[in-house]
Amino acid sequence: MSITAIIFVLLLLAAYSYFIKRQKVYALYRTQSIKKSKIKQTLPKYFGYVAALWSLVPALLVLIVIQIIDEPLVKSSLADYIQSEKIVIGDAADDFDLYMNEIKNMSIDELESADPEKIKVFNQYQKFQSISNYAMTIIVLAMAILMTAFGMKKVKINTPARVIFEKFIEIILLLAASIAVLTTVGIVLSVLFESIRFFGEIPFTDFMFGLEWSPQTAIRSDQVGSSSAFGAVPLFVGTMLISLVALFIAVPLGLMSAIFLSEYASSRFRSIAKPVLEILAGIPTVVYGFFAALTVAPFIRDLGESLGMSVASESALAAGLVMGIMIIPFVSSLSDDVLSAVPTAMREGSLGLGATQSETIVKVLIPAALPGIVGGVLLAASRAIGETMIVVMAAGLAANLTVNPLQAVTTVTVQIVTLLTGDQEFDSAKTLAAFALGLMLFVTTLILNVIALHVVRKYREEYE
């Protein structure tokens, strides 16, 4: 039976146990003896739920386990078969995987043209497949029926059905909440694993401190330019350069907008201006990238030329400028939160002593809110470092080691994208390098985030 059919049967069984159990408890509740005694605390439906869980959950768990062990089992028995029949397919493990794939993807029409040995293996494979399918169906359904019967007997009138059911739901909720942890573990493992393989080929120090980045892997060993260099310093510098340009734009503008909105603007102006700033935050980054590459970058290049400077058409300035504008709303909403958390007493004290509003803001509010603002800037920096589409579309691909914002630089994220969107095999140093860069990116932003969140929380507590 197919898995959907099995699950359907399981659901039917669960529905059956639910209704039967509920009906039984209903009937019991109506009998005089129970009406008089006071054990009628639990609604009948909860007994039904628990009975349904008995018939559903164990069988589902068994199904999942079988699904996981099914494929390796079939594979290994097929390997045994191949060995016993003395069919030669090459000895490396990779060859075997390839062979398995071929067998799996064989269709009926191909059978006529394939060589007889393969047909033999294919038939054997199908045999194993059907055996495993039968076994799965029988085991799961037997489990379900057994557990249904067991549940019917086990759930009695004095079972704390509601408590059991609610505990079950609570566990489900906890599992949902744990997915966040699982995701983080998944991210760390996936980038770490590949990075370790990468560092097995390229020494860690070469990667961290090397000044040259040209990730070609040669197809032939005598090819021109076959030497590849994985020194990531130019990428780090490029990323920092673009992020600095972005922060240079976003921090003053974002902070000043936040100050104006929270301290000066009328509530009507605020009610219009805030959503407009939010629109700026809601525009997809690919749109910013398009705008940066096709409108801002040529504009800056032409402007530079008219001033007699040579500006690259993929200058760091253009990408940074647009990225800066993208994170303005981010900075401004964070600073807004922070500024409004400063106690009114401090504000009023300063105003009462005769300071003007701007003096109050500059000399009282900002110093008081400084930790929070710094936290916001760090978060903005982590966002700028991790931003991908703007730089992919508007920054260069060549890794120049320069701090001149008028030249083209490349960033960590750009390289990850270019390394992984091409057609190369997964094991090449080139692809693995992308994961090493991903690890660097993850660690950097993680550190920035942890510090920022810590600073912001500390600061909030101070005024609470």
Of 13 and 293, which has the nearer Cβ to other proteins? Answer: 293
Residue numbers 326-365 binding other proteins by CB under 8 A: 328-329, 354, 356-359, 361-362
Q: Which residues of 21-59 are buried (b: 16+ CB within 10 A; e: fewer)?
A: bbebbeebeeeeeeeeeeeeebebbbbbbbbbbbbbbbb
Of 184, 205, 271, 424, the residue at the interface with other proteins (CB under 8 A) is 184
For residue 172, state whether it binds other proteins (rule: CB under 8 A).
yes
Residue numbers 36-95 binding other proteins by CB under 8 A: none
Q: Round to whole Å and give the CA distance between 165 and 57.
A: 12
Using a 10 angstrom Cβ sphere, with 0-12 exposed, 13-18 middle and 19 or more buried, the burial of residue 427 is: exposed
Of 9 and 446, which has the nearer Cβ to other proteins? Answer: 446
Contact region for other proteins (CB under 8 A) — 21-29, 107-115, 401-409, 448-456? 448-456
Of 184 and 226, which has the nearer Cβ to other proteins? Answer: 184
Give how far the C-alpha of residue 353 lies from the chain's centroid of Cα atoms, to the nearest Å.
Answer: 52
CB of 368 to other proteins, least distance (A): 17
Of 23 and 271, which has the nearer Cβ to other proteins? Answer: 271
Residue 384 contacts by C-beta under 8 Å, 6 or more apart in sequence?
242, 243, 246, 247, 250, 323, 327
Q: Round to whole Å and give the CA distance between 256 and 375.
A: 17
Of 120, 162, 197, 460, the residue at the interface with other proteins (CB under 8 A) is 162
- Helix axes of 93-105 and 44-85: crossing angle, nearest 10 degrees: 110
What amino acid occupies position 147? M
Site string for other proteins, 260-279 (x = CB under 8 A): xx--x--------x-xxx-x
CB of 11 to other proteins, least distance (A): 17
Of 254 and 405, which has the nearer Cβ to other proteins? Answer: 254
For residue 280, state whether it binds other proteins (rule: CB under 8 A).
yes
Residue numbers 358-417 binding other proteins by CB under 8 A: 358-359, 361-362, 379, 382-383, 385-389, 392-393, 413, 416-417
For residue 225, state whether it binds other proteins (rule: CB under 8 A).
no
Nearest Cα to Cα of residue 103 among 134, 86, 82, 85: 82
Nearest Cα to Cα of residue 311 among 332, 296, 326: 296
